[in-house]
Amino acid sequence: MLRAADLDADYRSDRCDMVHDFYAPALAAATSYDRAVGYFSASVLAVLGQGLDDFASRGGTMRIIASPHLNAEDFQQIHAGYELRAVLKQAALRDLEQAAQDPRAASGLGKLGLLIAEGRLDIKLAYISSHDRIGIYHEKIGIFRDGHDLVAFKGSANETMPALVGNFESIEVFRTWEPADSPRAVRISQDFEDLWDDRTPLLRVIDFTAAAKDVIQQCAKQTAHQTEPQLPPLDGAVITLPRPETSGRLVIPSELTVRDYQKQAVERWFAAGGRGILRMATGTGKTLTALSAAAQLTRMLHNRGQGLLTLVIAPYQHLVDQWSKDIAWFGMQPIRAYESTSSWYGKASSLLDALALGTAQGGVIVTTNTTFAADPMQSILDRYRGRLLVIADECHNLGAKRLRNKLPTSAGYRLGLSATPERWFDDQGTIALTDYFGEVVFEMGIGDAIRAGALCHYTYTPVLVELDDEEAYLYAEVTEKIAKIIAAQGFSDDTDDDSPLGQLLRKRSNILGHARAKLPALRREITARRSDWYQLLYCAEGRHPLAYERGELDEPTQLQQALSMVGGELRMPAAPYTAETKRQERQHLLRQFAAGTDLQVLLSMKCLDEGVDVPAARTAYLLASSSNPRQFIQRRGRVLRKAPGKERADIVDFIVVPPHGASDLQHETERRMVGRELTRVTEFAQLADNEAHILDILRPLRLRYGLLDT
């Protein structure tokens, strides 16, 4: 905000640097800049440099009123009866064309051209016309606004490079939040509005934007083609203009074999008008399918002389890195937008400039869900006026309330990717996704992928574990509270996770996930595979709910206990892969795991659920029980990816059942608990190579609870 810019009441060349101390901080805080001066030179924009670049990239707008320089020939034409406005425009265009010959002014014109191309700059010419007297407009006023306050200034400085850098100048500043300044600031602002609307006596103001547009944009294109143009030193420093981040177009690599089903997915997306969702099982190549579609679209638009910006949105930073590697394989270096805004914002802004000027045919920005929803990325998307393709990896995440309203409506092409696009207990979010991306246009489930050879076969081992008496009592207590809330207010499909009902549902799920009997059962299963490598172990998040009940927050987590057992007691090389694991360490762990010589077991909670490539994994232990289809489908897909020497995978799933004999659970509560667990078992079993054996194992349990149809 302008109030935070710490602007003084006046500036004078003997006391300050006019650009550094006044213009730069004012531009950094403003959303609009109005300037009325006797002379305006585009060279000044190069001096303002990054401050103006940032102002423009945030969607800032400018209005300029200036007086053209009239020479003797111009006055002769006026006295000869030439149309006055035509002479003035001719003189102003001559000024621009002469400025284009000066590298300093040419770089400034490039900035003007980008603003004009996006409809965020207007220019008008002012002149004196009274009693046959023609004279120049020589006033010098300016106004910065931020949407709440304004700063007005006036003084001796014209908007030229010599005025701001070489001359001795002074200006006075009036701020609306200062009581003594406010009336004058408002009056100067009103003076500008009167000028702009041609309501000032003695003066005439005419439009010049359209006349200037061709000259300015032509100059902008020429300067955009230059490589790192430099300005002469100012105050001992060399100002270097940024080079646009461009590298041609996405192209399908010649060495990539696009599978038939991937071609079919792309064809159906195009048949739906470039919108739709691909429901494709984990491991079937959603990323390469999406990039193939983007490459085809880029080529089609290129043949029409049109560019394309591609925005890829992925849930996590490591997925941005994976996407970036694949995009580089398709012939482009993408802009990775996450972490510090300063690391990507300038590059993204330069890319948009290059696309607007036609000096780039395409570009790709890859970002995380978090960065996508933040203001800097939203301002980039709001600013862009060209053709836009949005690719959403694991698009179900974007159905969340905080994300779905951020999706750019300007995107003409939209592609959602997910093995499970439906949001769990969130019909509104699911509807929002299809409203934005379109319906599912192609589907390939795990069964189809296994039959097509895209995923490997697997065996499935359900391991039954019982709740102990304490866990059963807590489960019954939580279930009773859930029933009371539902009876009182009903059950909503978009129940907020932080609501009382949402918290109870999560707590009940955590009781199953942290069941104490799982660790002894895990010891038996992993000991039987002690010599095997490439093992993944999924643990429950947080701590056992009973630890929270007792306030025993120092109790080890399930992951810590499992790591101690596997890595300490069984002496199997093991390591955790969690949200706390730094990005570089994650890459190192994945390389170690894939090598099959240094790391035998990788333990995680949720970080391996979406998008992480671990094709070498042969065995997955599912300690964390979940009835959410997305989670267990993602985890199954993680271990079914094909890899050299890998023929099949083994999934070991720990199924929680009530204590055998008397417990605090009502029979119907027990039945529903078992039914929820068996839903996952049925999903896993029906595609496993040992399906018949699984059904035999579970038949007594189904009979006990009357769940033969589950």
Please report the pLDDT score of residue 359 as a whole number. 73
Mean pLDDT for the stretch of residues 353-375: 87
Q: Which residue would you say has higher pLDDT here, 84 or 588?
A: 588
Give the residue with greater pLDDT, 437 vs 236.
437
392 forms beta bridges with 313, 416
pLDDT at 155: 81
Contact indicator for 568, 539 with CB cutoff of 8 Å: no
Percent of the chain scored above 70 by pLDDT?
A: 79
What pLDDT does 224 receive? 46
Tokens standing for residue 186: 């408002």
CB 468 within 8 A of CB 516: yes
pLDDT confidence band for 574 (50 / 70 / 90): very high
In the structure, what pLDDT confidence band is assigned to residue 223 with cuts at 50, 70 and 90? very low
CA atoms of 344 and 379, how far apart (whole Å): 13
66 with 37: CB under 8 angstroms?
Answer: yes
Q: Calculate mean pLDDT across residues 667-692.
A: 86
Q: Is the pLDDT of residue 276 over 90?
A: yes
pLDDT mean over 415-436: 84
Cα–Cα distance, 136 to 628 (Å, whole number): 73
Burial class (CB in 10 A: 0-12, 13-18, 19+), 254: exposed
Does residue 699 carry a pLDDT above 70?
yes
CA distance 492 to 656: 26
Predicted confidence band of residue 534 (pLDDT cuts 50, 70, 90): very high
Q: What is the pLDDT of residues 149-198, one digit of tens each?
A: 999 998 865 444 444 444 567 889 999 999 999 999 999 999 999 999 98
Residue for token pair 């990775």: 336
Q: Both tokens of residue 293?
A: 């579609």
- Tell me the average pLDDT across 661-689: 81
Taking 50 as the threshold, does the pLDDT of residue 234 lie above it? no
- Give the range with max mean pLDDT: 15-19, 67-71, 631-635, 686-690: 686-690
Are 380 and 352 in contact, with CB atoms under 8 Å apart?
yes
pLDDT at 134: 62
What is the predicted pLDDT for the residue at 169?
76
Closest CA to 244 of 354, 343, 332, 327: 354
**Beta strands 308-314; 362-368: pairing state:** parallel
Distance separating the N- and C-terminal Cα atoms of the chain? 60
* Gap between the Cα atoms of 281 and 451, Å rounded: 12
Tokens 């990539």 belong to which residue?
Answer: 256
Structure tokens at 24: 């730069």
**Of the listed ranges 226-240, 296-310, 574-588, the one predicted with least confidence:** 226-240
pTM for the structure as a whole: 0.58
What is the mean pLDDT of the segment spanning 425-449?
Answer: 88
709 vs 271, more confident = 271
Q: Which domains does the chain have, with CATH numbers?
A: 2-225 (3.30.870.10), 260-451 (3.40.50.300), 457-474+516-705 (3.40.50.300)
Residue 296 C-beta-side C-alpha neighbours within 13 Å: 18
**pLDDT tens for residues 632-662?**
777 787 788 888 888 899 999 999 988 876 5
**Whether residue 144 has pLDDT greater than 60:** yes
C-alpha distances (whole Å) from 207 to each of 66, 210, 617 are 11, 8, 68
Q: Is the pLDDT of residue 91 over 60?
A: yes
| DSSP conformation class of 2 | G
Instruction: Name the average pLDDT for the chain.
Output: 81
248-262, 315-329, 336-350, 490-504: the lowest-pLDDT one: 490-504
pLDDT of residue 233: 31
What's the mean pLDDT in 200-205? Answer: 84
Mean pLDDT of 73-90: 69
| pLDDT value of residue 537 | 93
pLDDT the model gives residue 368: 95
**Which has more confidence, 31 or 226?**
31
According to DSSP, the residues that pair with 11 across neighbouring strands are: 171
DSSP secondary structure code for residue 234 in this structure: B
Report yes or no: 359 and 246 within 8 Å, Cβ to Cβ.
Answer: yes
Q: What is the pLDDT of residue 186?
A: 93
pLDDT at 43 over 50: no
CA–centroid distance for 547 within its chain: 37
